[in-house]
Amino acid sequence: MMKKVFFAAFVLLIVMGFAACSNKQVPVSTVNLQLQNSVDSLLKQGMGEYGATEGMAIVVETSTGNLRAMVGLKENSGKLVSDTTLFSKARETFLFRSASLLASLETGNVSLDDMFDTYAGIDVVGQDTIYDHNWRKGGYGELTLLQGLAYNSSIAIDKAVDVAYQNKDVFMQKLEQMGLEKDSTFKGSWPVYALGFHHRRPTRMVSFFNAIANGGKMVSPKMQEGSAIVVDSMIAKKKNIESMQKALRFFVTNGLGKKAESKMVNVAGISGSIHTEDGIYADFCGYFPIEKPKYTVFVSYKRPGAPASGGNMAGETFRKITELLQKNNKQKQCIWKLLFQRL
């Protein structure tokens, strides 16, 4: 009996201690140091395996925007060193095509079931030639828009935007309404912009995908505990957010994101690999569990040259991080269950 009383008193003291700390209003970091170290190890492992010169991973709590882990690494004289400037570095990413798809769905002029001819993987649009990643193998031919995103077809996404919008400015305004400000330095064509060939901070794309996971509510990522900072209560119509959730799940189960799939938890997400002047970026961003999203995770690697695959490289590390988080959550649940049983 005395042991139970002592244990209950001990738990009460811990709770009171947390309450006292919160009353002092001392800023408390959202970063989980144990998780930070584990993500750091997984990212280093991936960089070594894939021959990457840069790596980045961000873990956000979906509902609050709390940053639970942020790891940026780069190769320097044969060693991997921390580099936090990677988070604010604006660069191109093929993940942006998901935003272009959502903006197109918002017009009501296209749907995921619409068919688009991607030909043999090559399409000439004005002065631009657009290639699908498998153009050397003859392309995909006719695809639904759902399949077009799942197979990362640049042609399918470009055609969807073209059907949805006749006015470039209206398209740009819609993107800004979804929290994706215009890249004022961009000098290229509209179709190229829609595919992600413009500069954008990775954290901005994390916020976008977190909003999809959050049912449309965009919250600002933050590094201090506190109430969620709501940027936009609904970035798009509910039915279109649900269409994007369906498409991101389909990408993992039936598309190029199968390496991200986990036997432990249902995930959704998308990958993209893009060639830039300073290397190839292989990105993956997704969330889990799809039934009630708790975390949004972004992973990126940069290689000096081919081969580089967002689905295979970043997707694999994404899966490892999600399974690590899932194990940690189950352990916490077991501990709390044990505590209440003893009380």
Q: Is the pLDDT of residue 23 over 90?
A: no
The distance from CA 303 to its chain's CA centroid, rounded to whole angstroms, is 19
Give residue for tokens 């280093």.
44
For each of the domains in the chain, give its residue range(s) and CATH number, in order of start.
31-328 (3.40.710.10)
d(CA 63, CA 70) in angstroms, rounded, equals 17
- The rounded mean pLDDT for the chain is 89
What pLDDT, on a 0 to 100 scale, did the predictor assign at position 329?
73
pLDDT band at 111 (very low <50, low <70, confident <90, very high): very high
What pLDDT, on a 0 to 100 scale, did the predictor assign at position 277?
86
Of the candidates 200, 197, 202, 195, the one whose C-alpha atom is nearest the C-alpha of residue 156 is 195
Q: Is the pLDDT of residue 104 over 70?
A: yes
> Among 122-131, 189-198, 209-218, which range has the highest average pLDDT?
209-218
Over residues 63-74, mean pLDDT: 97
d(CA 145, CA 157) in angstroms, rounded, equals 7
Model confidence pLDDT, tens digit, residues 228-239 = 899 999 999 999
pLDDT band at 5 (very low <50, low <70, confident <90, very high): very low
Task: Output 116 or 306, whichever has higher pLDDT.
Answer: 116
What pLDDT, on a 0 to 100 scale, did the predictor assign at position 237?
98
SS3 annotation, 85-148: HHHCCCECCHHHHHHHHHHHHHHCCCCCCCEEECCCCEEEECCEEEECCCHHHCCCCEEEHHHH
Print burial letters for 282-296: b (CB count within 10 Å at least 16), e (below 16): bbbbbbbbbeebbbb
Q: Is the pLDDT of residue 21 over 70?
A: no
Over residues 136-148, mean pLDDT: 96
**Range in 60-69, 179-188, 284-293, 328-337 with the lowest mean pLDDT:** 328-337
Model confidence pLDDT, tens digit, residues 162-212 = 999 999 999 999 999 999 999 999 988 988 999 999 999 988 999 999 999
Q: Is the pLDDT of residue 9 over 50?
A: no
Say how many Å lie between the first and final Cα of the chain, rounded: 11
Rounded to the nearest 10°, the torsion over CA 189, 243, 250, 134 is -20
H-helix or E-strand spanning residue 241: helix 238-254
Model confidence pLDDT, tens digit, residues 257-311 = 999 999 999 999 999 998 888 889 999 999 999 999 999 999 999 998 877 777 7
Q: Is the pLDDT of residue 25 over 50?
A: yes
Question: Number of C-alpha atoms within 13 angstroms, CB side, residue 34?
Answer: 3
pLDDT band at 8 (very low <50, low <70, confident <90, very high): very low
What pLDDT, on a 0 to 100 scale, did the predictor assign at position 334?
55
H-helix or E-strand spanning residue 253: helix 238-254
Q: Is the pLDDT of residue 14 over 80?
A: no
d(CA 206, CA 195) in angstroms, rounded, equals 17
Identify the sign of the CA torsion 42, 293, 300, 223.
negative
Q: Is the pLDDT of residue 213 over 70?
A: yes
Q: Is the pLDDT of residue 333 over 80?
A: no
Percent of the chain with pLDDT over 90: 78
What pLDDT, on a 0 to 100 scale, did the predictor assign at position 11?
43
Q: Is the pLDDT of residue 339 over 90?
A: no
What pLDDT, on a 0 to 100 scale, did the predictor assign at position 26?
66
d(CA 338, CA 343) in angstroms, rounded, equals 9
d(CA 10, CA 7) in angstroms, rounded, equals 5
d(CA 111, CA 243) in angstroms, rounded, equals 9
